[in-house]
Amino acid sequence: MIDLVGFDGDDTLWRSQEFYDRAQEAFEAILGRYVDLASRGLRDALLATERGNIALFGYGAKGMTLSMIESAIELTDGRIEARDIHRIVRLGKEVLAHPVELLPGIREAVSAVAANHRVVLITKGDLFHQEYKVARSGLADIFHRIEIVSEKDPAAYTRLFAEFGVAPERFAMVGNSLKSDIAPVVELGGFGVYMPYHSTWAHELIADFTLGERVIEVAGAEGIPEAIARMHSAGE
Ligand SMILES: [Mg+2]
């Protein structure tokens, strides 16, 4: 039996990663005027800077922007011009202001699940940006609760189960990230509906996770209600 269903936000309810990918391409174009990108390992350097900064800045576009500025200064040995730093700041602002575009069929899928289960939106990242997206998504009314957390790890999900008074084996999480949405929930004894997105942020990749019997992979939102129904009846 499934009592509570969690939905991820970015790249599960609405499009997100392509806006970050676009900013990354524009960032590389700016830096390409100063350094030979291939030889300097720009992508790896930025990822390393971001990884180090997440603990301080948290997830989201503001942290990305600061990491880009820091990487730009380091990779150009301080030669980056102020006008190009300004361009990088604008890239971050464009990510923050992108329109909220729902994935096909997701409104119908969330509504169908909500007809039979309590549903909660569980998203991580910058609080202000996530609130902005929730408000513009038009989905806020369907969810019983909206949880914006700083990290989606076993500790965060355990807290959530306690708040909702639900046992892990009566919880299913729907999301596009194996690392944040599926693996920690399965580890705790819950279920996962994995809906891959065409682009995945490098920090969300995990190497050593295989979908077990507690995870159903769906190709799109229309598969979500049936996956939850199967999980719901499997335990009866
Ligand atoms: Mg996501």
Give the model's pLDDT for residue 210: 84
CATH number of 4-15+100-234: 3.40.50.1000
| Alpha-carbon span 203 to 221, nearest angstrom | 24
Q: Give the pLDDT confidence of 27-86 residue by residue, as tens digits.
A: 999 999 998 877 767 778 778 888 888 888 888 899 999 999 999 999 899 999 999 999
CA of 36 to the centre of ligand 1 (A): 32
CA of 82 to the centre of ligand 1 (A): 33
Quick one: which of 193, 183, 186 has its CA closest to 227?
193
| Alpha-carbon span 41 to 25, nearest angstrom | 14
CA of 49 to the centre of ligand 1 (A): 21
CA of 84 to the centre of ligand 1 (A): 30
Q: Where are the domains of the chain?
A: 4-15+100-234, 17-96
> Is residue 189 pLDDT above 90, yes or no?
yes
Q: Tell me whether domains 4-15+100-234 and 17-96 share a fold.
A: no
CA of 162 to the centre of ligand 1 (A): 23
Fold of 17-96: DNA polymerase; domain 1 (1.10.150)
Give the model's pLDDT for residue 236: 54
Contact call for residues 158 and 188 (beta carbons, < 8 A): yes
Burial 128-146 (b: 16+ CB within 10 A, else e): ebbeebbeebebeebbeeb
Contact call for residues 55 and 66 (beta carbons, < 8 A): no
CA of 134 to the centre of ligand 1 (A): 13
| Alpha-carbon span 95 to 4, nearest angstrom | 31
CA of 88 to the centre of ligand 1 (A): 24
CA of 99 to the centre of ligand 1 (A): 16
Q: Give the pLDDT confidence of 133-153 residue by residue, as tens digits.
A: 999 999 999 999 999 998 899
User: Average pLDDT, stretch 85-99?
Assistant: 96
User: In the numeric block, which tokens belong to residue 182?
Assistant: 């599926």
CA of 115 to the centre of ligand 1 (A): 23
